[in-house]
Amino acid sequence: MDLDTLLDAMTPDVYQRLATAVEIGKWPDGTSLTQEQRDSAMQAVMLYQSRHNSDAAHMSVEKGGEIKFKSKAELKKEFADEKATTAEMAADDIARFDHDQL
């Protein structure tokens, strides 16, 4: 099977399972990856990212195959935006406390 056929057939769910397996060293059923499986899965994950990753994380392969490094300022802004979204979703809470108030 050539790489283009593999990448065309790979769904986001398969990509996520491969990425998780590479990160933790185990398949979803708990069996350990061999070094050869880990190397192949990592290559497949990086190739998938190079085609589909338009919003690269701190350090990953973004769409087009370039390695993306986000600056500390970009990461802080991203986390602040996520925190604001979480706060907006929690508008229906009965009570909210800051960490230092508990």
Flag whether 82 is in a domain.
Answer: yes
**Structural domain includes residue 98:** no
- Count of the separate structural domains present in the chain: 1
For residue 69, give its domain range.
Answer: 3-93
Residues contacting residue 33 through CB under 8 Å, at least 6 positions apart: 21, 22, 25, 26, 27, 41
Per-residue pLDDT of the chain (102 residues; tens, 9 = 90+): 677 888 888 898 998 999 899 989 999 999 999 999 999 998 888 888 888 766 655 556 666 666 666 666 776 777 677 665 555 555 555 666 677 776
pTM of the full predicted structure?
0.53
Q: Report whether 33 contacts 21 (CB < 8 A).
A: yes
